[in-house]
Structure 1
Amino acid sequence: MAEFNYHHLRYFWAVAHDGNLTRTADRLNLSQSAVSVQIKQLEAHLGHTLFERRGRQLVLTEAGRIALDHADTIFSAGRELVGTLQEKGRIRQAIRVGALATLSRNFQMEFLRPILNRPDVEIILRSGTNTALLQALETLNLDVVLSNRPPFQDAVSPFVSHRLTEQPVSLVGTPGRLKGKLDLIDLLTTQPIILPTADTGIRIGFDAWIERLGIRPLIAAEVDDMAMMRLLAREGVGLAVLPPIVVQDELNSGRLIEVDRLPGIGETFFAVTITRRFPNPVLADLLADRDI
């Protein structure tokens, strides 16, 4: 194999970060054709197309995204070498994780725990809506998406949903709000209740359960963010219907008390990926034998 040409890699790296061939050529005071030739030579050497054109935009292919990760590492190590000759630049693998904005932070931490202290791994964590995160996953800007709402699956869907765990759902509240009462049905009929919004799996299960019991609880708040439910429960606004993992610290400290598990109601967590020719190797460590 011919010796690798790092000049080709640098031109690719510049275009990938600029996102525009014309802008890069102007910045480097080169013709567009000269920069384009350099990238084509790199593609020929690697045996893979690194960009695809969508209208006027250049979008990285999967091979291009991997090449960019390595280029970032290479040129970062070069800068470190110039800065100090007594320290070696570490080769670090980036893992890009997207998480539904309303997802439990405690759950996210438990998912990431196997790699939190690894010096060879850089974690890039982003939050957003399910739609935005799945789009980022499909365009290879994310390696995995954490969600409690798996994407729709059909024969042409690119998504793969890995079921991580199902967390039970409980009724929790402050000691002052409970006042020693731990009868589940009595509390549901006499105390204000903090609930997830109607489009969530927990709420659908809860509504069906209380319908069977013939209960009409007083709803204090309907919230689409588990972090906000946690705060409202801590303030004693009402009793909250949520997975205990969301308020694990408060339960351990006694600031909140778990009254009882709600039968047949749970929240399922998923790690969503897409089938890739070059999967991120860190994913294997995150998805292996998971039961958070």
Structure 2
Amino acid sequence: MINYKQLYYFWAVAKHGGITRASEQLHLTPQTISGQLSELEKGFEATLFDRVGRRLELTALGKLAYSYADEIFQVGKELENAITKKNNIRERVFRVGISSSVPKSIAYKLLSPALEKDPGIHLVCKDNNLEHLFADLALHKTDLVIADKPLSSDVGIKGYNHLLGECPIAFYATPALAERYRPNFPHSLNNAPLLLPGEDSALRIMLQRWLSQQSINPIVKGEFDDTALMKAFAQEGVGIFPGPTVIDKESQKEHGVEMLGEITELKIRYYAISAERKLRHPSVVAISEAAQQNLFAPHQAARNIDMDGHQDI
């Protein structure tokens, strides 16, 4: 049975960078904290800190223990805030990881129904690559991951892919570039300046395969993990960029670009990835329902599937 007082002392030492600083914050003697750390390590039968000179550094097991302890005490703080909150609307924290390859406007459209459904929600968004986001999901540091590719069973993380919807891909550019390359589209993309999403994007792999099949060889002017940065370059006339048609109006209005043409056979999919097979979290349910009934409805009714590809109903 874990001694949570000892775990709290360990967490404080790791958080504040040493026993002395932790003792100052906790108003305890260094000897008291040191003794409690020793007892915790005995209970775990593991070394949590290595002494490097005058510093303490977390071991691999110590880092794992800290990640869990941090989650435990964050939840404890949320519980304290919820109980002591004076108004009737209890703040609820909803943590979402968003793949860098998902356009910001799509992320907003997907998440806004959760805010509308629950006025007391406290949304925490983290933008990162999928490797980090899936790790947070495995450690229960994230409630949901929104991505343009499913969680693969090869990753070794337990999770379920809930397909939110799909839409075709189109190419966009400034009016001058659009006028030049729109005739004879898509073959006009041959030798055209092209901006590509980063390697972590599902769209990147899809496009490269399609371009090769069509014997189209554009001149790649840049690669971008952040879709907003890619559009900023496109807005300045650097090149043509691909994007989902579900945000066609926003792309044209916000970035002053025009559509060259649509590739209907290319479909980009978006997933809500959770640790639960059946969606139960009210915010996640709101996101899924709104995506299927509103955002992606004109293109295709979405299906929920688990990470093995089976229908989840």
Same fold (TM over 0.5): yes
Pairwise CA distance, 1:123: 0.4
Query: Distance between the aligned counterparts of 1:276 and 1:25, measured in 2?
Result: 45
What residue is the counterpart of 1:88 in the other structure?
A: 87
Does the 8 Å CA contact 2:163/2:271 hold for their aligned counterparts? Answer: yes
Match of 1:234 in 2: 235
Contact 1:164 1:271 in 2 (8 A): yes
Partner of 2:28: 29
Q: How does 1:108-187 map to 2 (within 5 A)?
A: 108-117=107-116, 118-153=118-153, 157-179=157-179, 182-183=182-183, 184-187=185-188
Between the aligned partners of 2:284 and 2:187, the Cα distance in structure 1 is 46
The Cα shift of 1:174 comes to 1.1
What's 2:102 paired with?
103
Report the CA distance shift for 1:285/1:34 in structure 2 as closer, same or farther (over 3 A). farther
The SS at the match of 1:233 is helix
Runs of at least 5 residues in structure 1 that lack an aligned partner in the other structure: 1-7, 37-51, 81-86
Match of 2:182, as an amino acid?
A: L
> Deviations 1:138-189 (Å, cap 9, x if unpaired)?
1111111111232221697411111112232111111122237632135313
Q: Where does structure 2 lack aligned partners over 5 or more consecutive residues?
A: 38-43, 49-61, 296-313
Equivalent pair of 2:160/2:276 in contact (CA under 8 Å): yes
* Partner Cα distance (1:92, 1:139) in 2: 22
Question: CA 1:209–1:263 in structure 2 vs 1: closer, same or farther (change >3 Å)?
Answer: farther
Name the CA shift for 1:70/1:285 in 2 (closer, same or farther; >3 Å).
farther
Return closer, same or farther for 1:199/1:143 CA change in 2, 3 Å cut-off.
closer
**How far apart, in 1, do the equivalents of 2:14 and 2:196 lie?**
47
CA RMSD, 1 decimal? 4.1
Distance 1:155 1:135 in 2: 10
Residues in 2 aligned to 1:24 and 1:266: alpha-carbon distance in whole angstroms: 57
The answer on 1:259 being equivalent to 2:260 is yes
Over 3 Å counting, the alpha-carbon distance change for 1:35 and 1:151 in structure 2 is: same
Whole-angstrom CA distance in 2 between matches of 1:61 and 1:277: 24
Alignment match, 1:41: none
Q: Distance in 1 between matches of 2:251 and 2:47?
A: 52
Shift of 1:126: 1.0
How far residue 250 of structure 1 moved from its aligned partner, in angstroms, is 3.7
Corresponding letter in the other structure for 2:132: A
| Greater displacement, 118-127 / 194-203 | 194-203
**Map of 1:189 onto structure 2:** 190
Aligned position for 2:305: none
Map of 1:43 onto structure 2: none
Gap change, CA 1:282 and 1:33, over 3 Å in 2: farther
Distance, in Å, in 1 between the alignment partners of 2:119 and 2:259 is 37
2: CA distance between counterparts of 1:201 and 1:264? 15
SS state at 2:291 partner: coil
* Same amino acid, percent of matched pairs: 17
- Report the residue type matching 1:153 in the other structure: S
Query: Which residue of structure 1 aligns with residue 203 of structure 2?
Result: 202
